[in-house]
Structure 1
Amino acid sequence: MLAYLVRRIVFGAAVLVGTSVITFAIAFVVPADPAVAMAGAKADPQTLASIRSEMGLDQPLYVQYARYFDRAIHGDLGRSYIRRESVTRLIADRFPATAVLAGAAMALSVMLGIAMGAIAAAYRGRAADNILLVISLALVSIPVFWLGTMLLIAVAATIRSFPLGGYSGATSLVLPTLTLALGSAGYYSRVLHTSLCDAFDQDYVRTARGKGLSRVRVMLKHAMANALLPLVTLAGLDLAGLLSGVVLTETVFNWPGIGRLAAEAIFNLDIPVIMGTVLFSALLIVVVNLLVDLLYAWLDPRIRLAETG
């Protein structure tokens, strides 16, 4: 297991280095002059040249990347051209709001997905299964930005005092959480339904049923443990994406998270913030994937045997 962990850490570090190279290269393709962004479009050539020299933009690209990489591994992601603030501080200030939204959306989506998938599998081939299939497919098919907009319109027309944007407490968390959770819940329910149906056809489930155990007890005690394994992987990947900031949802609901920060940076061509949010997102994905792999190995002993053998 230790060798497996070391390999995963090395692979994750390689992914982060590759991400930093790609984002740094893209920054020079974008038609934006950092000196102009900082000094303004009417700045004289001498001022622009002085800023470029101070920022090291007049040096070769490999030297600029080496300086950027050295700062990044020490936690310094540069300064925003527009806000004139540390990118690391901006991300740290926005991350709590994103983490709250991600945690709430993930908890709701997993609970709904497990409930819908378990009920559909318990009534396989019956009306309840077919109805839940249609509902889950509809939830998966709805675009997130459209769902968020429709929820805003519906709530604005019916509940005038309900908060429609911003982060002002638990009530303001309801709409963005629903927007993010419903689509994932539909997907999770179909995955769990398929896994449970496969488990019901296995010999160990037939043996448990032959001993006189009820269908519900067999599902919860025997089939569910194996059926949840694919769901753990999917939920881990989705959690990494949520923690990285969901751009559309945070923009629609004016949520002060990393996704909205990235959207504003893209709109303003704030290159350091764009690079910082992308690199931070990659770090979160690598860390969460590593944790999911370890959890997967803990849930399924066969994986541990395969790694150690």
Structure 2
Amino acid sequence: MLAYIARRLLEMIPVLLVISLLVFGFIKLLPGDPARIYAGSDASIEAVEAARQQLGLNAPLPQQYVNWLGGLFKGDLGVTYRTQQPVAEVISKSFMPTMWLALAGFAWSVALGLLIGVVSALKRGKWQDWTLMSVAVGGISMPPFWLGLLLIQFVAMPFGVFSVSGFNQPSDIILPALTLGASVAAVMARFTRSAFLEVAQEDYVRTARSKGLRNRLVTWKHVMRNALIPVITMLGLQFGFLLGGSIVVESVFSWPGLGWLLIESIKTQDQPVIQALVMLFVFEFIVINLLVDLLYAVVNPAIRLR
């Protein structure tokens, strides 16, 4: 197991290097002069040149990339062009709101999605199955921004119970979490149902039933345990989506998280923040995929990681 973890960690290095090169290249293609943004729109030519020298923008592009990459590995992400604050400090302030939002959306969506998927599979072909899967299809088809606007229009504004902007108290997370997790719950419901029904047709399940084991025991010990293996993969991918894909939801609710920070940085062409956020999102997905692989052995000891 330790050898597998070490190998996967080593495999992360070339992936991150390639991604960093692509991110750096695309950022340099963006219009605008970073030195002018850093110095201010009213700055003199001398001030702009001084800013260019300070930021190292007068160096050749390969040297700029090496300098940025070296700072990245040392934890020095540079400073923002607009406020001259350390990028790491700006991101750290926005990280926890996004994490809380992702965890809240993940918790309710996984619980509801697994429940709906199992119930739908157990009631296959009946009206409960058709109803639940129709709701799931609707959840997948509904754009998050539209659901968020509906919740604001018909829940928050008429009753005045929930805030629709910012994160000032714990209850403010309810509507954004519902919006963020709706599509995940729908995906989990359909995926869980498919995995459950597929495992239920396996020979070892039929053998267990033919031996006279109780249906409930067969369902929860044999079917559910093995159906969870592909579901765990989906869980990891969906959590990564919630962390990195909450941009629209954070914009709708003015949530002070990483997604909102990324949009504001794109608007202001704050290149160091954009670069750092993209690399953070990529790193999150890689780590989550590694954790998912490790969870395989926990769910089913028959699986051996090599």
Mark the CA change 1:125 to 1:245 in structure 2 (over 3 Å): closer, same or farther: closer
Amino acid at match of 1:176: P
Rate the CA distance shift 1:76–1:244 in 2: closer, same or farther, 3 A: farther
* Corresponding residue number in structure 2 for 1:27: 27
Partner of 2:219 in structure 1? 219
Matches within 5 A, 1:287-302: 287-302=287-302
For residue 269 of structure 1, what is the aligned residue in structure 2? 269
Q: CA deviation at 1:13?
A: 1.7
1:230 alignment partner in structure 2: 230
Hey, what does 1:209 align to over in structure 2?
A: 209
**Greater shift after overlay, 202-211 or 101-110?**
202-211
Aligned length: 306
1:204 deviates by: 2.2
Give the corresponding residue for 1:160: 160
SS in 1 for 2:303: helix
- Report the Cα distance in structure 2 between the residues aligned to 1:141 and 1:252, rounded to whole angstroms: 18
Aligned equivalents of 1:169, 1:210: Cα separation in 2: 55
Alignment CA distance shift 1:182-1:217 (3 Å): farther
Deviation at 1:18, TM superposition (A): 1.5
Residue number in structure 1 paired with 2:174: 174
User: Contact 1:245–1:258 at 8 Å: present in 2 too?
Assistant: no
- Aligned equivalents of 1:219 and 1:32: distance in 2? 60
Moved more, 199-208 or 143-152: 199-208
Question: 1: distance between equivalents of 2:275 and 2:207?
Answer: 55
The residue that corresponds to 2:43 in the other structure is 43
Deviation at 1:244, TM superposition (A): 3.3
Q: Are the structure 2 counterparts of residues 227 and 93 from structure 1 closer, same or farther at C-alpha, using a change threshold of 3 Å? A: same
> Following the alignment from structure 2 to structure 1, what is the Cα–Cα distance between the partners of residues 111 and 133?
17
Under a length normalisation based on structure 2, what TM-score does the superposition of the two structures give? 0.95
Cα deviation, residue 243, structure 1: 2.5
Answer whether contact 2:139 2:186 (CA < 8 A) is retained.
yes
The CA deviation at 1:8 is 1.2
Identity of aligned residues (%): 38
Render the CA deviation track for 1:196-248: whole Å, top value 9, x for unaligned: 11111122222333344443432222201111111111111121232336110
Task: Give the root-mean-square deviation of aligned CA atoms.
Answer: 1.5
SS in structure 2 of the partner of residue 301 of structure 1: coil
Structure 2 CA distance for aligned equivalents of residues 156 and 107 of structure 1? 22
SS at match of 1:303: coil
Moved more, 256-265 or 154-163: 154-163
Counterpart mapping for 1:254-265 below 5 A: 254-265=254-265
| Deviation (angstroms), 1:85 | 0.8
Distance 1:141 1:185 in 2: 12
- Structure 2 counterpart of 1:81: 81
Give yes or no for contact 1:262–1:273 (8 Å, CA) kept in 2. Answer: yes
Q: What SS does structure 2 have at the residue aligned with 1:80? A: coil
Question: Structure 1 counterpart of 2:19, which letter?
Answer: T
CA distance in 1 between counterparts of 2:170 and 2:106 reads 16
Whole-angstrom CA distance in 2 between matches of 1:254 and 1:295: 35
Q: Is the 8 A contact 2:24 2:65 kept in 1?
A: yes
Q: TM-score, normalised by structure 1?
A: 0.94
Q: Which runs of 4+ in 1 moved over 6 A?
A: none
**Paired letter, 1:13:** I
Mind listing any 5+ residue stretches in structure 1 that lack a counterpart? none
**8 Å Cα contact 1:98/1:245 also seen in 2:** no
Partner of 1:98: 98
| Unaligned runs of at least 5 residues, structure 2 | none
Give the conservation status (yes or no) of the 8 Å contact 1:156–1:164: yes
Q: How does 1:174-193 map to 2 (within 5 A)?
A: 174-193=174-193
How far apart are the structure 1 equivalents of 2:206 and 2:18? 49
* Amino acid in the other structure paired with 2:289: N
